[in-house]
Structure 1
Amino acid sequence: MTKIISKFEHLPNELLLDILGYCRPRDLFISLFNLNHRLNTLIYSQSINIDLGNALPKYLLDVYYKSVLYNAREQIHCLRLSDTYGRMKRFVINNKQLEINFEIRKNILNQVKYLILWDPIMTSLHEILNYANNLEYLHVTSIGTARQTPNFSDRLLKRLFEMKTLKRLYLALHDSIIFNTDIDINTSVVHLTLNGCYMQHLAPLLRRLPNIQKLNIMCYNRPNLYSVNPENFDYSLYDGLTDCVPYLTHLVLHITHTPFFEIKILLQQLSKLIKLSFSSLLIDDYSNGLNWENIIENHLPNLQKFSLFINEAQIPTRTQIDLIKMIQSFSSPFWHRWPVVIEYYIDSISKKHLMLYTLPSQKDSIRTYLYGVQTQTTKQIFDDDYLNCNKVVKDLDYKKVYELHFTLHSNPPSNILLPNRIYTNLKSLSFSSELNDSGSYDADIILNDLKKIFSTSVLGKIKRIYLYNRIYPINFLSKLLNLLPNVQSLRIDASLFSISTVLTRITSLTIDFNSNVKYKSTDILRQMGTFLPNIRYLYFELKDAQDIYIFLIYCLRKLEHLLDIHMTLHELNVRIDQQAFMSWFNEHKLLNGLNNKVQVEFGGDDNRLHISL
């Protein structure tokens, strides 16, 4: 007779290990740890990923400090920290604010292999790097100019290049990294993503990365800082670069205000490239297909994948654009494997915007216009036989597009709509408005046109709507929400907030109260409580610190599913008085029966507030 397994601990080790791999760290060390020696042994064999970022409620953060980190200290391989509300700063300060002592925290950092840091204050980042001596992967994302990045980024790159175990590095800072010549050669880094480097520092940087295999980098040149041309250019900058990066096969290069001839000089030195993705904010000579064909055929013999994206949004009025000539330069048989699309918008006043890109599109977010875009594509030039045999490829042309951003203008040059395309993974629609009058468009016409561009199934997949600026057609928001039945997240200016239908699917709401247009806070709060019953995440962008109290009193009482409230003050010199707020909040908790799980965190220079419930 087959033995019936009726208890969890009767399962074999192989199954238990598989089950434990799906458990959260707090489940392992609060629910299962110390039940018996066997379970402890299996738990200790797990590699643990710890996320102490903003998504973790404050009361659970305290639970991790008290009951999880100490017991898991020898097996934490991946750690995520955030400084938006000072969590990262407190983690590296030698004091007794936390439930786990400083030596244990240092030991955890010393053995972590993967470290993800969100919005760090640079002083905190440098402190962490003093103890994280065995990193293989470091990911740093900074989101605001208040994070002090430029003051310390020169020391940062030097420190990172001294780390001999680091293999993958991701730096997304809000300004260009400062490069100094005293930076050492690093032989361990094989993947580098750097969201900010001056163009003149790219070659010196590469010379210090002899084993680099994949590079994703944004390079800046300040416009009109100085004139660079083939006659005065220092060609020695790139001499011999081929021998310095023998393993570089994947390059994603974003540039601004860099002349084409310099990019040509660079690519001539990178003959081992297998994959090249290039984007520019200037048309210049980048929009000539013959130039790219010459480089690829003569200097990049191993290239298998190529992506081009040119996006100049502010074309001078004196610049003449010949779309036919431009598209014909990409019409040779060479371009059959990488078809090209041109989208050109020009209004009657001064607006000229051109995008040129290869298919399939490699961008996850695209800014365009609902009306008036002239479109050209080499698919109209190639043979029908080629198009037919590539039908599957056509269906994947916009597979990576996650968000579309439309701009509405008062006087579009025509009512021509964007072509109907297949967006298999589109999840977000955002709108910017340059309208002066809400009567410039009819909301019903716009919505009908959206239905022409997108299939019903695509509209049903939209999860997020973002409306920037203040002036939109009358009832645009409410009608848009009716068109998109599965929206879960909404961002909007306070003056536009007008909802009259119950929307149970929306769980995340961001409201910007910074405009000068008058609004009634009580009306907005009433609509939230009546028509958005399932709100879990609230984000308020405010000007007046006193508004915090008004909104909190209502939201904490009426929104029964609320989990998180984030409030940010954007006015200069407007700050939250922590002592006064905590005195009021503690009294409010007591009077309204809120439990101890409801906690507060402050961030920035006392201009951010986070309440987790």
Structure 2
Amino acid sequence: MYFESLANELLLDIFEFFDGIDLFRSFYGLNTRFNNLLSTHFHPYRFDFRSISKHDFNFICHHCLPLIIERIISLKLSNDDETPNLPNFLFSYGFTLDKFIRLQSLSLYSISSFKELNDIIVRCHQLPYLTHLYLIDGANDGEKKDTQLLFNNIWHLKKLHHLSINYILLGKLCLSRISVESLSIQYLYIENITCDLKNLLHLFKYTPNLRYLNAAIHYNVADEQIPIQICSITSLKLTFESSVPVMIKLFQMMPNLYSLTLKTMDIYLSGNKWKKILLNYLPKLQIFRLRMYFEFPHEKNINEQFEKLINTYRSSFWIKKHQWFVQCDSIPFGTYNHGILYTLPYAFNSFICYDTLISKYTCPDEKTYWRYKHVNSLQYMKYKINPTDYLNILPIQFPNIQHLKIGFPFDEQFYSFIPSLNQLKSLEIVLGENYIYQQLQTLINLSPCLYSLRLFYSFDSKVSVKQITSSSIRRLSFITKCSMTLAYFNNDECTDLAYSQLGQQCEVLVIKIENRNNVLILINIMKNLRSLVVQCKVDTWDKRNTSLNEDELVEWLRLSLPSTYSICRDTNETSYIRIWIGENINNTFLSH
């Protein structure tokens, strides 16, 4: 049976599994029937523009969006290195957010300008179905008044149900400036916005129907008053860096808490003390996930301290009543020993493998507790393991790793933790003096879905990059940790990289170059390149003394490259110039 012989109803069902970009790239223009299905009959369009080429983006804007803009329910826009300035290009076509009248979910990535964000959010006030809003990976470049305006504009969205704001540089002050009440927001993710109890109380006052909160509490005083409780919150995920009294006051604010996922810093509590806190202040708690990071008193015997601590988590309250099992790892740092105690199964999405001194656990010796299936981001920082230490290593498994940072060379024990690298998407490697090419190649060979390779090097290892092969890598980033003389690629190194197997298939490149002509070498040879981010050694532009209109290097690039290319400086890392490569051919989709 041929695909085209399927009934229209089946085809429309199949289309629902495709992103809008893939739908039009795959089916638009095949024949009148498919064109009619896409432009007239298919409804729940979802568009993710985060990794689109400028040529394909222009095609979508010219030929597709005018036909279906009122049927798009999900939209993801990004201003990162892969699609620099994309939101502004979209709006320049006249597709402002108020035109997406059926939009239910909006995700905005790496938009640093609060003025731009405010303009977008104001347009969203006219969207009657918008329930999900995500602001991801941005940085605060605005003044206090911009922050206040942004948050009030968001809280003014009448149907908003889920809100995630992952802007690392936002401070405590932003929450205290909210002055618009939202009765619709029930799920709030602000884990990178630091709060104190005063700010949190203000947030609760203007968001009275919260059910789930993901937040961070840092550096508070213990004597703050608690005038209100918020009974609607039943689930809390918290990163906490403060004192135990402040933590108790926080728990008193949420008497109906059913689920608590908690990461603490510099808090050292025994199982008996945790039991008392949970029974007294969180009587309805049923789900408790903990990661407690602390420092052992260095003047006392570490083995005795360790044994005494882990035994407090072996009582019937922990083992029989709740089956809250824990593991504790002791990690040596110079003359100090740090400890990490966490509940099992491990419930957090990131993990760092250290050179541990001691590990003990309270769970049954079953494989299910050693499968850290929630971890998708792993740092492997083991350097000092001797073969004789392998007998003390627990059989931990990380089956779902998507992001890995690892130092080279690494010990072969690493592979005992990783049953498969089939889901690995991004790899960051720190190359040491004894870096072995074959070890890196073996790791890449075991990662069939690897998309991004980022290199940190402590010596001049650029020449070895041309040896690496991979059928999947499409993004390369080169970052140095050492002297500036080794950081920049010269003409020969750029040529070697461009002609290498990785260079020929590379689509996104982040690199430091010695001179501006290296840009032309890279673009002319790397035929699949769609985005190039460069820092040029001879760039004389100074943000403090020069206006954008006098940016000599940017102007030279605009004169040297086709007018279809977008060229601009990164608003955060102003020494980097971002080039979004446009088409050089007729207005059809590029072959992939």
Aligned pair partner of 1:125 in 117, 120, 123: 117
Cα 1:333–1:138 shift into 2, 3 Å? same
Match for 1:218: what amino acid? A
Residues 316-374 of structure 1: CA distance to partner in whole angstroms, max 9, x if unpaired? Answer: 96798622222122121222222111122224x355432211111122221232x3432
1:109 and 1:128 in contact (8 A); partners too: no
Match for residue 289 of structure 1? 271
SS in 2 for 1:577: helix
SS of residue in 2 equivalent to 1:197: strand
- For residue 86 of structure 1, what is the amino acid of its counterpart? N
Aligned residue among 373, 381, 384 for 1:399: 373
Pairwise CA distance, 1:33: 10
2-side partners of 1:421 and 1:137: how far apart? 36
1:498-513 equivalent positions in 2, closer than 5 A: 498-499=464-465, 501-505=467-471, 507=473, 508-513=475-480
SS in 2 for 1:482: helix
Given that 1:190 and 1:211 are in contact with CA atoms closer than 8 Å, whether structure 2 keeps it comes out as yes
1:219-251 CA-partner distances (Å, limit 9, x unpaired): 2227xxxxx34xxx13x32x430xxx3332111
Q: Shift of the alpha carbon at 1:276?
A: 0.8
Distance 1:346 1:514 in 2: 25
1:127 CA displacement: 0.3
TM value normalised by structure 2: 0.80
Residue correspondence of structure 1 range 223-238 to structure 2 within 5 A: 228-229=221-222, 233-234=223-224, 236-237=225-226
Contact kept, 8 Å, 1:277 with 1:307, in 2: the verdict is yes
Q: Which 10-residue stretch deviates more, 124-133 or 424-433?
A: 424-433
The one-letter code matched in structure 2 to 1:402 is N
**Residue deviations 1:265-297 (CA, integer Å, cap 9, x gap):** 221332322211001122x24x32222212323
User: Is 1:115 matched with 2:106?
Assistant: yes
Q: Which residue of 2 aligns with 1:225?
A: none
- Letter in structure 2 aligned against 1:509: L
Cross-structure match for 1:202: 200
Alpha-carbon distance change, 358 to 37 in structure 1, aligned in 2, over 3 angstroms = closer
State how far apart, in whole Å, the 2-side matches of 1:64 and 1:462 are.
30
Q: Quick check: 1:310–1:356 contact (8 Å CA) kept in 2?
A: yes
SS at match of 2:70: coil
What are structure 1's unaligned runs of at least 5 residues? 93-97, 223-227, 380-386, 434-442, 587-595
Say if 2:325 is the partner of 1:325: no
**C-alpha separation in 2, matches of 1:215 and 1:68:** 38
Distance 1:106 1:277, change over 3 A: closer
Give the Cα–Cα distance (whole angstroms) in 2 for the partners of residues 360 and 479 of structure 1: 31
Paired residues of 2:558 and 2:567 also in contact (CA < 8 A): no
User: What is the CA distance between 1:477 and its match in structure 2?
Assistant: 4.7
Number of the residue aligned with 1:465: 427
Q: What is the alpha-carbon distance in structure 1 between the residues aligned to residue 245 and residue 398 of structure 2? A: 35
Measure the CA separation in 1 of the matches of 2:236 and 2:506: 40
Asked if the contact 1:427/1:464 (under 8 Å) is kept, the reply is: yes
User: Which one of 402, 417, 424 corresponds to residue 399 of structure 2?
Assistant: 424
What is the rounded CA distance, in whole Å, between the counterparts of 2:401 and 2:340 in structure 1? 19
Displacement of 1:162: 1.9
* Runs (5+) with no aligned partner, structure 2: 544-550, 583-592
Hey, what does 1:247 align to over in structure 2? 232
Q: What's the RMSD between the two structures over aligned residues?
A: 3.7
C-alpha distance in 2 between matches for 1:65 and 1:493: 38
Indicate the residue corresponding to 1:496 in structure 2. Answer: 461
Equivalent in 156, 160, 163 of residue 162 of structure 1: 156
What is aligned with 1:438?
none
**Distance (Å, rounded) in 1 between the aligned partners of 2:293 and 2:386:** 20
Cα separation, 2, equivalents of 1:356 and 1:210:
34
> For residue 356 of structure 1, what is the aligned residue in structure 2?
341
Pick aligned residue for 2:560 from 565, 580, 584: 584
AA matched with 2:28: S
Specify the alignment match of 1:56 in structure 2.
52
Question: TM-score, normalised to structure 1's length?
Answer: 0.77
Residues 181 and 44 of structure 1, relative CA distance in 2, 3 Å threshold? same
**Most deviating of 12-21 and 57-66:** 12-21
Partner residue of 1:275 out of 259, 284, 309: 259
Task: Give the conservation status (yes or no) of the 8 Å contact 1:538–1:564.
Answer: yes
- Displacement after TM superposition at 1:63 (Å): 1.5
SS at match of 2:67: coil
Query: 1:48, 1:462 → 2: CA distance?
Result: 28
Distance (whole Å) between structure 1 residues aligned to residue 160 and residue 341 of structure 2:
37
Partner AA of 2:175 in structure 1: F
1:122-141 Cα offsets, whole Å, 9 max, x none, are 11000011110132111001
Contact (CA 8 Å) 1:273, 1:302: kept in 2 or not?
A: yes
The answer to whether the aligner puts 1:299 opposite 2:281 as a matched pair is: yes
Distance 2:178 2:528 in 1: 54
| Equivalent residues of 1:366, 1:401 under 8 A apart | yes
Q: Corresponding residue for 1:590?
A: none
Q: Is the 8 A contact 1:213 1:247 kept in 2?
A: yes
Alpha carbons of structure 1 residues 576 and 514: separation in structure 2 relative to 1, 3 Å:
farther
1:375 Cα deviation after fit: 1.4
| Alignment partner of 2:317 out of 324, 329, 334 | 334
Letter of the structure 1 residue corresponding to residue 99 of structure 2: I
**1:38 to partner: Cα distance:** 10
| Deviation at residue 115 of structure 1 after TM alignment | 1.0
Q: Which moved more, 1:245-254 or 1:477-486?
A: 477-486
1:463 Cα deviation after fit? 5.3
**d(CA) in 2 for partners of 1:310 and 1:7?**
55
In structure 2, do the counterparts of structure 1 residues 20 and 173 end up closer, same or farther at CA, with 3 Å as the change threshold? same
User: 1:393 deviation in Å?
Assistant: 3.0
| Equivalent of 1:378 in 352, 355, 362 | 362
Instruction: State the shift of 1:48 in Å.
Output: 1.6
Instruction: Quote the Cα distance in structure 1 between the aligned partners of 2:35 and 2:515.
Output: 55
2:494–2:522: 8 Å Cα contact kept in structure 1? no
Q: Give, in whole Å, the separation in 2 of the partners of 1:6 and 1:420.
A: 49
SS at match of 1:207: helix
Please tell me the residue identity of whatever aligns with 2:85.
G
> In structure 2, what residue type is equivalent to 1:136?
T
Task: Report what 1:383 is aligned to.
Answer: none
2:434 aligns to what? 474
Equivalent residue, structure 2, for 1:218: 216
Post-superposition offset of 1:252: 0.3
Alignment partner, residue 350 of structure 2:
365
Q: Which amino acid aligns with 1:450?
A: F
* Residues in 2 aligned to 1:325 and 1:530: alpha-carbon distance in whole angstroms: 57
Conserved 8 A contact 1:541-1:568: yes
Matching residue's letter, 2:228: G
The CA distance in 1 between the partners of 2:454 and 2:274, in whole Å, is 40
Q: Aligned with 1:46: secondary structure? A: coil
Q: Is the 8 A contact 1:73 1:107 kept in 2?
A: no
Q: Equivalents in 1 of 2:569, 2:251: separation in Å?
A: 44
Q: 1:502 to 1:163 in 2, by over 3 A?
A: closer
Counterparts of 1:260 and 1:399, CA distance in 2: 30
Partner SS, residue 127 of structure 1: helix
In 1, the alpha carbon distance for the partners of 2:285 and 2:343 equals 15
Q: 1:15 to 1:193 in 2, by over 3 A?
A: same
Counterpart CA distance in 1 for 2:120 and 2:317 is 50
